[in-house]
Structure 1
Amino acid sequence: MKKVGLYFGTFNPIHIGHLVIANHMVEFSDLDEVWFIITPQSPFKTKLSLLDNNHRYQMVFEAVQDYPKLKPSKIEFDLPQPNYTINTLLYLEEQYGAEYGFSLIMGEDNLKSFHKWKNYEAILEHYSIYVYPRISDGKAENRFEGHSKIMKVDAPIMEISSTFIRNEHKKGKNIKPLLPAPVWKYMDEMNFYR
C-alpha cells in the first residue's frame, strides 16, 4: 500500500516554498507520494482573489512535472462546497482505500486551530499528520504535543506566501524567483494577479 501525504491548499499560486516542503516530505519521511489537494474554497478564507479552480490546477500541474512523486489533484472540485477535510478524506478512502494509505501534511501553525476543524477527533483517530515547522508570532499550542498520530518533520522553514506574491506582483515587483519557472510562465502569459 502506497503512503500518500495530502497537502491541502488553494495554491493561489503554488510557489517554491510549497514545492520544497512537499519534496522534503517524500524524500525525508516514509511517504511515497504527496498529492496537492487544490481547495476550491477554504471554509476559513474568502474567495475575493481566488483564481479559477482549473487555472490553479494547471499551475500545480506545471510545477510538479519534473517531480514524479508529487501529484496535482482536483478531487475537491466536484465535492459539495463549502467542503471540509474530513469529507475529502472519506471520499478518498471510498475511491482509493485499497491502494493507498492517506495522511495529512500541515504547517505547525495550523495545529493552533486544528481543534476547530470539523470532526478533528475522527481525523486524528484514523489518519497520521505530518507537521512541518513554521515561524509564528506565538508558540504552537501543546494541545496535541506527543500525540502518537502527529509526526513533526524537520523540513526547511519556508516563509513565502501566495498572498505576498500576489500583492507584490500587483505592485510591479519581480517575484519570478519565488515561483517554479513553468508557473511564472503560465501566470505571466495569462496576466494573473495584476
Structure 2
Amino acid sequence: TVEILPPFTQEGVLAAVEAALEANPDVSFAVVDHITSCPAMVLPVEQLVAMLKRKGVKVLVDGAHAIGHVPLDVSALGADFYVSNGHKWLYSPKSSAVLWASKDAQKDLYPTTISGLGKGGTPFQLQFSYLGTSDVTAYVAMGDALSFRRRIGGDAAIMAYLIALSSQGGDLLAARWKTSTLVSGDMAACA
C-alpha cells in the first residue's frame, strides 16, 4: 500500500510510488487503481504502469470506476492485466465485468473451472469460453448498455457531462462550506 496525501497531484502520486519502490525493491506484482473511489481521482496510470514495468513489476490495473467514465485504450496502457465492472459507468447489470490480459500475461491465467472448450478464438479465449452452466444475462446485456450510451449522446458527451456535474457540485459545496475540493484538474473524477 502506498499512502498518498493531499494536495493530490500527478507528480505527488508518481513520487510516492517511486519512493515505495525504492524502499521495497523486491516488489514483483502491483495493483494500481485507475480511478480511486474516495476521494474520486484519476491516477496517472500510463506513467505508473511504465514506472512499474521499468522495475520488472507485473501490473494489474483496477479499472472498476474507469470503463465508461474516462477514455480508455486498455492495450495502450502497457499493463499486464486490466479489470473493470460494467455495472458502474457502462450502465450494465451487476456482475457484468471485464478482464483483459496482455498476450504475454495470458500464459499465466487459467480459469478456476475447466468445463469444456468452446469453438473458435485463441487458445486463451477457448479456455474461458465455457465455464459450466451459469447465468450470462448480465454479460449479454452489456451490448444493449453500450447501445444505450450511443443513443444518449455517446461516450464523449456522457463523460463531459459527468465531469462537469461533479466539478460544479464540488465547487458549490466547497464555496458553501468555505473550504476547497481535494481533487481538481486532470485528476478530477466523479467516481
| TM category, shorter | 0.3 to 0.5
Q: Larger RCO: Structure 1 or Structure 2 (Cα < 8 Å, ≥ 6 residues apart)? A: 1
Q: Which has more strand, going by share of residues?
A: 1
Which protein has the larger Cα radius of gyration, Structure 1 or Structure 2? 2
Give TM-score scaled by structure 1 length.
0.33
